[in-house]
Structure formats: C-alpha cells, structure tokens
C-alpha cells in the first residue's frame, strides 16, 4: 500500500499491512461478504474485483478493490491490486435509485389522487359539463402543487409565504359545491425558501393522498384543519382530520413515501413528523426549526 491507500483507509503509515488491519475498517454490513471473497481469492489464484464500504471516523466511503492473487499454494503469498475510491459513483447510483423509486411512488399516488378527485367532484356536480369544469380546475391545481414537489437544484431565497404555499398544495382537494370550506388553513405569516417548500410539499402531498384514499377527504362529512404556531426556535404545524371513516386500527406508515418524508424532514428541516391516530381521524404534527425555513 502506498500513501494514498493508507489515507483512503484512514490508517497511519506502516511498512506492512494485513487483511485483519483493514477488516476493522470495513462496514459491518459488508464485512462477511468481503471476508468470503478474500478467502475465495486466496484459494484460487486469478483476478478479483469487489466493491464495499469502509468506515473512516464518521465518514462512510466506497472502495473498489481490483487485482490478482498470486500463488494459492504459498500461505504468505501477496495479493496485488489497487484500491479505488468510488464513493462519488456509488452516491450517484444511490441517488438515481432513490429518484426512480420516488418517481414510481409519485405516479402511483397521482393516479390514486386523480381517481379520488373524480369521486369528490361527482358528488357536487349536477351536470356532465359542470363536473368536467370542476375536475379540470382541480387537476390544474394538482399540477401546480406537483410542481412544488419537484426537486430543485439548490436555489436560495424565499419561494412563498407559508399560508399561500399550503393553500396551493391543498386547493386540488377542496370541494367547490355543497361541501365547500371543508379545508381550513391558519398558519403563521412567514416566508419559506425553495428547498423548504419542496420538503413541505412532499409532506402535504403524502398526507393528502392518504386522506383522499382512507381519511377525512374521502368522506362527504370529512374536514381538515391545518393550523400552526411558533414556539421559541421552532414552528409547529398540526394536520387534524375529523368526520372521516372511523379509525379502527392504526395504519402502518412504513412505505417508501413515508420513509423518504421522515428522512427529508429530519435532514432538511431539522425536525420531526409524528402521527396520532385518534378514533375521529388522523392528527399529524410537524415540528421544524425556524432557522431552516428560509432555505
């Protein structure tokens, strides 16, 4: 190993290094796999190639080990090869997989929402023409809301007022007929940045989708209150559903969208999202750091 290899592994320079020295830095989830590959390589001479993670302090790096084992009959025969730092490539691959999964999830949600909006519109429309007009306006609003969920390339500045943002995101789900006014928004007057707007849009999009499918927005008598308040360095938003189907059991919020939202709230907003499934409906509380809002 040369100086760059020791630096890659986070090891001090020494005249020799053993596989056991390196093993201590291999990620626990990859250690058995790398051990098995190493044993197989020492048993059969020839080329080898394997990618795995290593831990250097608080950093996790991806290493691609490529080379050739020498003499399998000699117990102390060396292994020749290189270590490549492929962390950037692996992160790009993980990002692509995450984006593909999110897009698949988003398309399924949009189809479910379109079906739910069609059902909601049919309740209040008296004629086909009226239903067509209402449904078109709702789908247009859904498109505006969907634009806010689109990943943004690191832009800065204030995207909108918090209240305006929430009104745009929830406008596709509001009835314009007999059940108009079922959604009420009362949040502090404050600006939000574009990154924050994207994360908030994801949260509202997921909560509204679940509500249209199973919650208050799926029922004629259902109502939704979105309220907010500030407490010292935090902003609290409370999503409260009432009048929907009776909640007999707590739904499992462990799908791809739910996991991604929880991670985004923690990393982007420095906050948390909790669910309280009451018999009258869902009460979800989103807590965010105030100093993250304008990002």
Output the pLDDT for position 178: 43
Q: Do residues 78 and 71 make contact, with C-beta atoms less than 8 angstroms apart?
A: no
Which of 85, 113, 131 marks a domain boundary? 85
Q: Do residues 81 and 66 make contact, with C-beta atoms less than 8 angstroms apart?
A: yes
Between CA 223 and CA 242 the distance in angstroms is 5
Output the pLDDT for position 158: 47
Between CA 97 and CA 99 the distance in angstroms is 5
Indicate left, alpha or beta for 73 from its phi (over 0: left) and psi (-120 to 50: alpha). alpha
Q: Do residues 124 and 179 make contact, with C-beta atoms less than 8 angstroms apart?
A: yes
* pLDDT digits 0-9 by tens, 119-176: 666 765 678 887 787 677 667 766 665 565 454 444 434 457 888 888 888 887 776 4
Same-domain status, 195 and 241: yes
**Helix orientation angle between 256-269 and 194-214, rounded to the nearest 10 degrees:** 150
Same-domain status, 75 and 122: no
Same-domain status, 61 and 176: no
Strand partners, 273: 286
Output the pLDDT for position 254: 59
Same-domain status, 131 and 48: no
Between CA 242 and CA 224 the distance in angstroms is 7
CATH number at residue 66: 3.30.450.20
DSSP letters, 219-261, are STT-EEEEEEEEETTEEEEEEEEESSS---S-----SHHHHHH
Q: Whole-model pTM?
A: 0.51
In the chain, alpha helices (H): 3-9, 19-23, 28-43, 87-124, 128-149, 162-170, 194-214, 256-269
Which of 41, 67, 85 marks a domain boundary? 85
Same-domain status, 282 and 216: yes
CATH number at residue 181: 3.30.565.10
Same-domain status, 58 and 176: no
Other Cβ atoms closer than 10 A to 202: 22
Q: Do residues 162 and 196 make contact, with C-beta atoms less than 8 angstroms apart?
A: no
Domain total in the chain = 2
**CB neighbours of 244 closer than 8 A, spacing ≥ 6?**
211, 214, 215, 216, 217, 218, 219, 221, 222, 281
Q: Do residues 241 and 283 make contact, with C-beta atoms less than 8 angstroms apart?
A: yes
Same-domain status, 132 and 203: yes
Centroid of chain to Cα 166: 20
* pLDDT digits 0-9 by tens, 2-25: 888 888 888 888 888 877 888 888
* pLDDT digits 0-9 by tens, 50-66: 899 988 887 888 998 88
Which of 65, 85, 105 marks a domain boundary? 85
Give 156's DSSP letter: -
Q: Which two tokens stand for residue 205?
A: 């999009």
pLDDT exceeds cutoff 60 at 179: no
Mean local confidence (pLDDT), 258-287: 85
* Residue 23: domain span: 3-85
């Amino acid at each position: 190993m040369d100086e760059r290899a020791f630096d890659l592994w986070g090891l001090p320079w020494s005249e020799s290094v053993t596989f056991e020295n390196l093993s201590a830095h291999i990620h626990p989830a990859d250690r058995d796999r790398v051990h098995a590959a190493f044993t197989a390589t020492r048993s059969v001479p020839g080329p080898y190639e394997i990618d795995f993670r290593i831990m250097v302090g608080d950093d996790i790096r991806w290493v691609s080990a490529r080379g050739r084992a020498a003499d399998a009959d000699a117990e102390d025969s060396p292994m020749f090869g290189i270590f490549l730092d492929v962390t950037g490539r692996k992160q790009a691959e993980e990002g692509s997989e995450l984006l593909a999964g999110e897009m698949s999830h988003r398309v399924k949600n949009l189809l479910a929402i379109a079906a739910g909006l069609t059902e909601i519109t049919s309740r209040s429309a008296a004629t086909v023409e009226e239903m067509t007009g209402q449904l078109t306006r709702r789908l247009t609003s859904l498109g505006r809301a969907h634009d806010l969920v689109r990943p943004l390339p690191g832009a800065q500045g204030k995207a909108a007022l918090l209240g305006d943002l929430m009104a745009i995101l929830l406008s596709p789900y509001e009835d314009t007929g007999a059940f108009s006014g079922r959604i009420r928004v009362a949040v502090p007057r404050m600006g939000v940045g574009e990154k924050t707007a994207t994360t908030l849009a994801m949260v509202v999009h997921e909560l509204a989708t679940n509500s249209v499918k199973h919650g208050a927005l799926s029922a004629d008598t259902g109502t939704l209150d979105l309220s907010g308040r500030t407490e010292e360095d935090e902003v609290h938003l409370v999503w409260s559903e009432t009048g929907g189907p009776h909640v007999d059991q707590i739904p499992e919020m462990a799908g791809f969208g739910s996991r991604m939202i929880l991670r985004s709230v923690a990393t982007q907003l420095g906050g948390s999202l909790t669910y309280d499934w009451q018999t009258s409906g869902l009460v979800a509380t989103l807590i965010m750091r105030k100093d993250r809002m304008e990002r």
